[in-house]
Amino acid sequence: MSDEKRSASLSGAGHLSGGDYTRVSISGAGKVSGDLKAEALRISGAGKVEGHTEALQIAVSGSGAFAGEVVADEMRVSGAARIDGAARVKELKCSGSYRVKENIQAEYVKISGVLRVGGDVEADLFKASGGFEIEGLLSADKVEIRPGGRCFAREIGGERIDVRRGGYREKGILLDGFVRMFTGRGAAEVRADVIEGDEIHLEDTAADVVRGKRVEIGPGCRIGTVEYTERLDVHPSAEVKDQKKI
């Protein structure tokens, strides 16, 4: 293999061997064998990388499947992306569907579609207005959720956790239907075993335990226990079984 970097474009049914590229574009049904390193990777058809993927920019508007780990500065998905390894992406924006078998490590995550993660999601800022299912911990300095479908994480932790009504309810039926297609027919709400943060505001949230410094439990919440150190406000329509000031 030459050291010279090259670009590759696959349209129709194509096959590309892994290596170091500047730009890779897949617009038909394309497969990359081995590890792929590229400055930019664009998948607008059905693309599959059979090894690890490392790129500055990844854009998926069709369907992208990644068999290994994905490392990128920026990843935008408006179609569907499936990653069988872990994702280390500085900036992740998804308005389609994003599935990761292992963890997501990011600085910024914005999800307006659906997200499914087998492990943890770690970010500085996490924003979701669609639905998600995170098997492990969702942790960010700021977690902002406007549930547009079922949102589940086993544990949510960070400095500020803000869950408010909104999401797709106000954005029309089409997107709403799309999100529900993936997340099931459940109500648009957040469900977690444990939520911990310094500033917590919750609406439409069901959790076993909420722990925080300043906690606001808003309308539509069903909480088992709230433990707080400074302040707790509970909306009259919210259900809190147990509350404790520590």
Partner 1 sequence: MDDDKLISKKDVLERMGISYGQLYRWKRKGLIPELWFIRRSTFTGQETFFPEEKILERIEQIKDMKGDHPLDDLADVITQQVNAKLQVAFDRLKDLKWFDASILDACRIDRTEGGPLTIQETLCVAVLSALRRSARDEELELVRKTLRERLDPVLLDRVTEESLQLHLLRKRLSGGGISAEISLAVIGPAGIVLDPEIESVETVDLGHLLERIKLDLAKETEAEPPAAPSARNTEEER
Residues forming a β-bridge with 150? 189
Residue 51 or 224: the one with the smaller Cβ distance to partner 1 is 224
Stretch that binds partner 1, among 16-24, 85-93, 127-135, 191-199 (CB under 8 A): 191-199
In angstroms, the CA 75 to CA 164 distance is: 26
Least distance between partner 1 and beta carbon 191 (Å) = 14
Residue 122 or 204: the one with the smaller Cβ distance to partner 1 is 122
Which x/- pattern over 110-129 shows residues binding partner 1 (rule: CB under 8 A)?
------------x-------
| Residue 245 CB neighbours (<10 A) | 10
Which x/- pattern over 213-232 shows residues binding partner 1 (rule: CB under 8 A)?
x----------xx-x-----
196 binds partner 1 (CB under 8 A): yes
Residues that bind partner 1 (CB under 8 A): 105, 122, 139-141, 155, 157-160, 193-194, 196-198, 208-209, 211-213, 224-225, 227, 242, 244, 246
